[in-house]
Amino acid sequence: SQQGEEDPQALSIQEGENATMNCSYKTSINNLQWYRQNSGRGLVHLILIRSNEREKHSGRLRVTLDTSKKSSSLLITASRAADTASYFCATEDTGRRALTFGSGTRLQVQP
Amino acid sequence: DAGVTQSPTHLIKTRGQHVTLRCSPISGHKSVSWYQQVLGQGPQFIFQYYEKEERGRGNFPDRFSARQFPNYSSELNVNALLLGDSALYLCASSLDGLRSADTQYFGPGTRLTVL
């Protein structure tokens, strides 16, 4: 079963704009991770945020985590056409090393 | 260094048949996990193996089985295929899979179509 929901399901923006995706989950977690997937291929790990962290940056990516609301957001700044992909959040639940994925956000960046 | 490799890339089977999917982890990684991704959904966890032992199992029927070999490569087997088994099967490797926040690196997947 899926861990939670991602919002929006689809997002279309212009190159240079910022893209924000949200993820909600249901259980206690060790960490939350974001992955990118291009056209049904393998997943690429983007960033990991631990349960005791509130914000993390990596290049043009900014991730926040609110454990009290069981939610996370991924911000991609100054988007590029190459950012077009599906983005998934995945949680590592406490007591379990397997990842539980959300349903994903399909991002389309128009050149 | 090579990443995670999976074979075959694509596979077409008919209902009732059996399939074996293969995965080679990144060199030095001892843990392999398998995920099923149905079109339009996120991946779902099937199995995790570490040092040839099953460390975790998702909510999948007994038709699904897996094993890990001494060289840490892994096979996923699915018996009595159903139409609903059509999906992208992803393999992920990690250093040991026991520590929290041990990053999982995914292979390109095997696209299975059941007719």
B59 in A contact zone (CB under 8 Å): yes
Question: What's the rounded Cα separation, in Å, for the pair A70 and B113?
Answer: 36
What is the pLDDT averaged over residues A55-78? 97
Task: Flag whether residue B108 sits within 8 Å of chain A, measured between CB atoms.
Answer: yes
Q: Does residue B88 belong to the interface with chain A, where contact is any CB pair within 8 Å? A: yes
In this prediction, residue B12 has a pLDDT band, given cuts at 50, 70 and 90, of: very high
Mean pLDDT confidence for A87-96:
86
pLDDT band at A1 (very low <50, low <70, confident <90, very high): very low
Mean pLDDT value of segment B62-73: 97
Searching chain B, which residue's CA lies closest to the CA of residue A5? B42
pLDDT classification of A3: cutoffs 50, 70, 90: low
For residue A87, what is the nearest residue in chain B, using CA coordinates? B42
pLDDT at A92: 86
The band of B103, judged by pLDDT with boundaries at 50, 70 and 90, is confident
Q: What is the mean pLDDT of residues A69-85?
A: 97
User: Mean of the pLDDT values across residues A42-69?
Assistant: 95
Comparing CA positions, the residue from B68, B19, B104 lying closest to residue A48 is B104
- Best mutation site among B24, B41, B53 for testing chain A: the one with the most A CBs within 10 Å? B41
Look at residue A98 in the predicted model and tell me its pLDDT: 85
- For the segment B66-86, the average pLDDT, to the nearest whole number, is 97
- Give the distance from residue B94's alpha carbon to the nearest chain A alpha carbon, in angstroms: 11
If DSSP states are collapsed to H, E and C, what string results for chain B?
CCCCEEECCEEEECCCCCEEEEEECCCCCCEEEEEEECCCCCCEEEEEEECCEEEEECCCCCCEEEEECCCCCEEEEECCCCHHHCEEEEEEEECCCCCCCCCCEECCCEEEEEC
In 3D, which of B15, B33, B18 has the Cα closest to residue B103? Answer: B33
Judging contacts by C-beta atoms under 8 Å, the chain A residues touching residue B59 are: 1
- Nearest Cα of chain B lies from the Cα of A82 at a distance, in angstroms, of 18
Q: What percent of chain B has pLDDT over 70?
A: 95
Q: Quick one: closest CA in B to A38, which residue?
A: B108
- Give the one of B4, B35, B56 whose C-beta lies nearest to A97's C-beta: B56
